[in-house]
Amino acid sequence: TRDRSDRRMSFQVLRYVRRNRRRMTLGAGMLALVFFLLYYHSHVALVLSRDASGSDQQPPSWDSAHQRLLQLSFYSKLEYVPSVDCQSAPQSSYKFCDPRLSPEVRATDLVSRIAIDDLIKQTSSIAPGISSLGIKDYNWRSNCLHGWSKSGGNWLKGLTWTVFAAPIGLGATFDPALVQRVGEATADEGRALHNVMLVYYNGSSTEAAGLNCFSPNVNLLRDPRWGRGQETFGEDPLLLSLIGTAYTKGLQVGEDPKYLKVAACAKHFAVHSGPEELRMHFSATVTLHDLYDTYLPAFKSQVLAGKVAQIMPAYSGTRCKYQQDGAPDAANPFLLRTVLREQFGTPNISIVSDNLAVAAVYQDHKYTSSLEKAAAVCVNATTDLDLGHDDVYPSELPLALRDKLVSAENIQAAVWRSFYLRFRLGDFDPMSMVPYQAINASHLNTPENQALNLQAARESIVLIKNLFNTLPLSQDKLTSLAIVGPNANATTTLLSNYMGIPSEIVSILQGIDNAVPKVKVSFAEGCSTVKCPNQDGFDEAVSLAMGVDCVIAVMGLDGSVEGESHDRAQTTCDGVDQDILALPGCQTDLVEALISANPRVILVLVNGGPVSLPTLLNHKGVLAVVEVFYPGALGGTALADVLFGEYNPGGKMPYTVYESIADVRPSVDYTMSTSPGRTYRYFKNDNALIPFGSGLSYTEFQFSDLVVSPSSIKPCDSVKVSVSVQNTGDLLGDEVVQVYLQPPKISGKDFTPNIQLLAFERVSIEPSSTQASSFLLNPYLLSLVDADGGRYIFPGEYEVFVGGSLPGEDSWSSSQALQDKLVIEGTAPVSVAECAGSPQCLAC
């Protein structure tokens, strides 16, 4: 071994083997030593083992200088410690402990055995144990937006797992199958973390990870300033529905259909996308058309197609025709009772408030005159769990019950839905019956998960500009590179928010340096922070740019200018305010200074929400623009693969990039069609800076043989759209086949979108090969939402477009779109509800 810490680790491993030699065969001991030598420098997870006698034993405390921790076979064979003891009397004879019965029957039996005072305690996000029934505490506080989040657990030192690209990047993949695999990997790692932590805490999850997670976020990215745009999948209802549902299915569905692997939670129901600074007391005013056309479809898809187990209402309130008082969403009976439970048909779905949202009903919204009344209105609206450190439900519901503001039946129903979900997770059942309880630490940071992580990061990258086919760069022709920018050597920035604990983070600088060992790579920040308030540091960056073959400028945003609780921050350059959508501070000036020194600049953007850069995008000195969003722990490797031709980018923009803030209405305005309109569906300005759905490739594609069949249909009929796509270039490449429908202008109606995405498919095509794609457009997809929120198929002549981008935006794609007509016959609109057998959601 090389140094003292290495020798100490070797001694500890050997001492473990020696102490346990009676329980280990000689072959197993040798295998352990072989694993030690092979994985000596690998980045693996520290887990907890239990010896054969059942006593807890922690692995040795090793130095993390090289992050070298062993994952030997004895660490992976955990004895699962259940959070409920159903083997002991008297509960072993009760129905709730009988796994042969349905979750409904078991939850009913359990709730009937708990006194009302103890039931109220179960409404807390950290539900206490019930010792008389063998039930230990349960922690409902977990997140898994793009891999399991470190929030919600007091993690054992050394545990690491996979951190994928931020959801906005996953949306840019336009690849639901890939995103479902990301969900599956996240669920495996979440189960592994839960199981390992239960061992450590002897079945208690107070300091551990629960089996539910507050993801996905399917709020539509309505406003480009919104700080949490990075958490969602984009601005289009169909994209949100298909990608979001795929992620939920990946999280929940495993090999055993009886049990959920983990319970997904779609948030933030339902009309929410800023302003973040006002969210605790703001109520959005929304028309019924916009509610059912824009804000609800992704949630409806989560419920009907994804079978999501839990819903989280937003902090903000919603004011509409049927809830004119703007009730906070956690206390909003129209949204929760009428829409979610009745219209969507989900009486048993669990509803959990956002953190401190119940208290905010009184303290911030001033919707009630006391905390007691706030607790009552939330329970009566069917918010089941109070996610708050202040425990408003446990402290105030006894008073509300006494004062007859809430009934015992409503409290029982809330707790019933919580236990019903835990039964669906197998939380009460033995390991022999729940295969997911055998998932152990060997499922963390696996080579397969890291390969998937790299694939997701690669697929999320969007090539926005590539002048003179500058990219990919040829290593053979390069001798020197200058990497410049405040995000060039950033690490945690690449992880976005609600991140986990990765074993390593590959910065963009490191990824490039690793990819070109024979090229001289120099680095300067240029700006010491992303806000870049002045030009300090420019001189060093400009000096490096002179004389190198190429400059890679890594600019963009980070958590200081966008994030939860704050929307896009206003920044200044030398005291002058910048457009709030532009690169922060003096970043644009820095890129222009680099161009002056070397007119061969490749601009890389690291960000969540849209960044406007009209001057740089059209500057001839910026040869290429690459959008990587927040690409996750392996983002530097993924970008290097794209820059040097190891991977051909095929991502598409999941949102519109506007030219300036002048193109955007105030963020408190939730109307979609009011001029200039929001998102590509309603934006009335023809010159969006970077259109939704756009993205280039290193190869070219040609669309042909578009067929819309039949070309004339009755209102409740479906139509098939088929097309051929040929790769006419020299490289393997991905294209996203996008199908858009442009409806006719309906006389006297102002709710018609400009155009809308009806289907898409990401296809990978070899050079000179052709692939056929076909899509069945059902009546629900062909329908429009009227002014009262009803969904109807309107007769008329529609335009169908199929291509690699929005129609008319071929310069932003590596292909040209095709066009055909579709006629829907009739004289009057027909409700989708009248179409027998028609799906009832976008992802159904």
Q: Which residue numbers are catalytic?
A: 354
Cα of 434 vs its chain's centroid, Å: 27
- Count of other CB atoms within 10 angstroms of residue 684: 11
Rg (CA), the chain: 28
Cα–Cα nearest to 655, from 294, 233, 234: 234
What b/e string do you get for 718-749 counting C-beta neighbours within 10 Å, with b at 16 or more?
bbebebbbbbbbeebbbbbbbbbbbbeebeee
The residues near 704 (Cβ < 8 Å, ≥ 6 apart) are: 723, 724, 726, 818
> Dihedrals φ, ψ of 122, to 5°?
-75, -5
> Dihedrals φ, ψ of 653, to 5°?
-65, 125
- From residue 649, give the alpha-carbon distance in Å to each of 463, 757, 764, 772, 787: 6, 22, 11, 21, 41
- 701 in Cβ contact with 739 (< 8 Å): no
Cα 423 to Cα 676: distance, rounded to the nearest angstrom: 49
Burial class (CB in 10 A: 0-12, 13-18, 19+), 832: buried
Q: In terms of DSSP bridges, do strands 770-777 and 719-727 run parallel, antiparallel, or are they unpaired?
A: antiparallel
The residues near 838 (Cβ < 8 Å, ≥ 6 apart) are: 716, 778, 779, 780, 832
- From residue 331, give the alpha-carbon distance in Å to each of 390, 689, 773: 17, 40, 45
Burial class (CB in 10 A: 0-12, 13-18, 19+), 189: buried
Q: What's the token pair of residue 494?
A: 């690449």
Cα 330 to Cα 768: distance, rounded to the nearest angstrom: 55
Q: What's the token pair of residue 837?
A: 């057998």
Cα–Cα nearest to 591, from 537, 661, 547, 542: 542
- From residue 124, give the alpha-carbon distance in Å to each of 129, 157, 269, 723: 11, 28, 20, 53
- Helix (H/G/I), strand (E/B), else coil: 695: strand
The residues near 593 (Cβ < 8 Å, ≥ 6 apart) are: 535, 538, 541, 542
Which segments of 700-817 are extended strands (E)?
701-709, 712-713, 719-727, 733-742, 756-765, 770-777, 784-785, 791-793, 796-803
Tell whether the torsion through CA atoms of 366, 367, 370 and 375 is positive or negative. Answer: negative
Q: What's the token pair of residue 136?
A: 């230990």
